[in-house]
Structure 1
């Protein structure tokens, strides 16, 4: 199936999708600076509270796998509006949960339903001209990234002022506003897949099996995101102890430092005129690995952690944007299914990073977390060095 003629997309719609992406994806990350408060409120261990982040990211992977491919089969605007209702319900459940299992279940559902940004990214790619594709993808992704990073800052502040439950209640209210905005703003796109849901999922599997560009991008993205999640999931536990001994608001403020890296990464698409995608990704992964030097050797100082957070976000998000640009250059209408394969891998990697970092914290504290983070970064770099020259953008037309 060849791509249809690009019809263009206005900057107003692109900016709107960028803002909404940030608001929706933030639902997955409010919990990270609040884990300490939740652990105390429910009288559970830090590792037990850490499972909330793991389940949220696993839920996001499930949503990417089960919901995002439907963007090729159904009217996307209608799909997004229905999904927003489910997001709202999951956030309310989290707000009023009284048992630990309720928190786990609600977190899983929040992750599963907060996948709307990954329906927006293919829209931006599909409607953009070739010369604007990387820039428009970068703009939508930058909104998503700022949502991820600023959610930690906002979550920490709100949690300390009014308690962790209030953050999820506020998030539920924001989803109602987003629903109204999507209803009035988003253009309707016709589906391009006529088969059954089973055939749709089989085509996702075929893309994963047959597209080497997509396979390599997915592995690089999974390892890089897992490396970043290892840092942010355990940062709150690290900073609750000496020499810092600070609360959720200070930990959440590190999202502002990460935003510096994310904003810089949003401009990475413009570098394509000067160097290849593979070279940009190589430099991004080297920055990611180098960032762990600051978090390890200067991890007991504010300046060390701030520099580490800026660099890790710059490296991860730069490679992420270029990974997506790479596989969206494949000549196909299956844009949502391509994105499904990549993003499912991405958040499975995030879940693994969170899981192993939680274990590492339990047994080896901060040194163990740094080992997890740098190992995942090195795996991404090794795969890139070995395989990037063997895959070609001249993959077959799907």
Structure 2
């Protein structure tokens, strides 16, 4: 089955609700049959008409493409902040939910587990579709569906229903992972790291704010008010994106085979050594993050601190300080040097933070405070640098590249939570922290196995210089331009230069499923 933006049998014409819209290029290549009838009914529906209508200032014009402005960057960060937060509202109030639904604590712990499981399924099954569909209607549909489904969490009195809806909303809460590759498309390559840092910082803020807001509101009002607030924020995000998110063409307007598209993620991992390296680093670093924040609750609740729940929840506010570091660092350093050095800086910050927090945390609260600030800043820095590198690999397949990276990150988070709890239960704070030290040492081994210009699996070929050899590139050596922005020729859907277009397979996946090497190295020995 071949998935397209449109199917045969439907005339290519602008929608009546949006007379200025441009038909999809695939509208003229549709196929007869049940699929075309289904697609015709979808296009004829009021919901589709509402989602596909685009304000005049946001419509795609190849002669005057929209610029990627700071305002749009901040909008994506705001959307990412309160969309990611959906996954974490339940964490501080599990005891309240257990009393509300009359279930044991062991059973109520299924709620965050199901949310995370749904999120993982969405990463794998929905995010790759960002390489197929136009991002604006796809993102709007997911946000609207999530917001509407969220109403069920606000009103249901059934634990089974609450659990099922938690999985469903987790499944569709993947819009930030569609926005990040879009930022990679739109931002100029030499400013990509700075643009990504703004969105990633917003997402990190969402994780911290969700825990704090949920805990505080549950202490002073009903937990359901917290969920109603989250629902309102989702609808606010929808309307802001509907009003201000520009409409960009699909990166693969000809359509891709969905199952081969999923298979291509594995193929990418065998073709791009730097993607494997980045995924391993993401796995190991994410494991230290969840290990720290999970076991920190046990440390603060026990001797010598014996903090009540509210101060423990407010402790998360300390991590907000870290979100201001990454955008500044990205602008001053990351955009001028190869991403490798920023990954090194980020991992070093994580190691220093873990060592300080682990071996002083039982004697002074300053240890965990320092670890919370420095650890989060280092993790964000390393993640942004890794993304800046891997987004240069396949301009037509950035959503699939991001899917691989995020699945590795997610698996690392699960591993860190499980292993951290087990080690803490058997050995305490120092043992769980020492586990994180070992994980970061392993990350350094993988980092130093490949140099910044190495195109193979192991080595330092290409030199040791940390300054970008091509200042206008994201990774320091891959020639590319921002997609869907100024410089696009009339009738084109992207601005990828001819040499890149020739070197990079458009990820439209031939029948044999092969992928050509997507990196064009400009490094000179």
Q: TM-score, normalised by structure 2?
A: 0.68
1:296 matched to 2:358: yes
- In structure 2, the CA distance between the partners of 1:227 and 1:91, relative to structure 1 (3 Å rule), is farther
Asked if the contact 1:278/1:388 (under 8 Å) is kept, the reply is: yes
Q: What residue number does 1:13 align with?
A: 72
Q: What residue number does 1:259 align with?
A: 320
Q: Equivalents in 1 of 2:176, 2:325: separation in Å?
A: 20
Asked if the contact 2:349/2:375 (under 8 Å) is kept, the reply is: yes
1:115 matched to 2:236: no
What root-mean-square deviation, in Å, do the aligned CA atoms of Structure 1 and Structure 2 show?
2.8
Q: Is the partner of 2:256 in helix, strand or coil?
A: coil
Q: Equivalents in 2 of 1:146, 1:324: separation in Å?
A: 19
In the TM superposition, 1:232-251 aligns within 5 A as 232-251=293-312
Q: Equivalents in 1 of 2:92, 2:437: separation in Å?
A: 22
Gaps in structure 2 of 5+ consecutive residues? 1-61, 456-474, 479-516, 520-525
Q: List structure 1 runs of 4+ shifted beyond 6 angstroms.
A: 4-7
Q: What residue number does 2:208 align with?
A: 149
Q: TM-score, normalised by structure 1?
A: 0.88
Q: Equivalents in 2 of 1:51, 1:238: separation in Å?
A: 23
Q: Is the partner of 1:244 in helix, strand or coil?
A: coil
Which of 249, 268, 277 is matched with 1:190 structurally? 249
Q: What residue number does 2:343 align with?
A: 281
Q: What residue number does 1:23 align with?
A: 82
Q: Equivalents in 2 of 1:273, 1:180: separation in Å?
A: 33
Q: What residue number does 1:199 align with?
A: 260
1:370 matched to 2:441: no
Q: Equivalents in 1 of 2:320, 2:236: separation in Å?
A: 24
In the TM superposition, 1:217-228 aligns within 5 A as 217-228=278-289
Gaps in structure 1 of 5+ consecutive residues? none
By how many angstroms is 1:379 displaced?
2.6
Q: Equivalents in 1 of 2:115, 2:220: separation in Å?
A: 24
By how many angstroms is 1:185 displaced?
1.2
In the TM superposition, 1:1-398 aligns within 5 A as 8-35=67-94, 37-38=96-97, 44-45=104-105, 52-96=111-155, 104-193=163-252, 194-270=255-331, 271-272=333-334, 275-300=337-362, 301-388=364-451, 391-392=454-455, 396-397=517-518
- In structure 2, the CA distance between the partners of 1:223 and 1:78, relative to structure 1 (3 Å rule), is same
- In structure 2, the CA distance between the partners of 1:176 and 1:111, relative to structure 1 (3 Å rule), is same
Q: How many residues are aligned here? A: 394
Greater displacement, 139-148 / 119-128: 139-148
- In structure 2, the CA distance between the partners of 1:55 and 1:376, relative to structure 1 (3 Å rule), is farther
Give a deviation string over 1:328-358, Cα, whole Å, max 9, x none.
Answer: 1225221211111111211121122122223
- In structure 2, the CA distance between the partners of 1:75 and 1:138, relative to structure 1 (3 Å rule), is same
Asked if the contact 2:291/2:436 (under 8 Å) is kept, the reply is: yes
Give a deviation string over 1:196-224, Cα, whole Å, max 9, x none.
Answer: 21122122222222111111111111221
Q: Equivalents in 2 of 1:109, 1:226: separation in Å?
A: 25
- In structure 2, the CA distance between the partners of 1:390 and 1:130, relative to structure 1 (3 Å rule), is closer
By how many angstroms is 1:30 displaced?
2.4
The answer to which structure, 1 or 2, has the higher relative contact order (CA under 8 A, 6+ apart) is 1
Asked if the contact 2:192/2:335 (under 8 Å) is kept, the reply is: no
Larger radius of gyration: 2
By how many angstroms is 1:257 displaced?
1.1
- In structure 2, the CA distance between the partners of 1:35 and 1:285, relative to structure 1 (3 Å rule), is farther
By how many angstroms is 1:164 displaced?
3.9
- In structure 2, the CA distance between the partners of 1:165 and 1:137, relative to structure 1 (3 Å rule), is same
Q: Equivalents in 2 of 1:40, 1:388: separation in Å?
A: 54
Asked if the contact 2:339/2:452 (under 8 Å) is kept, the reply is: no
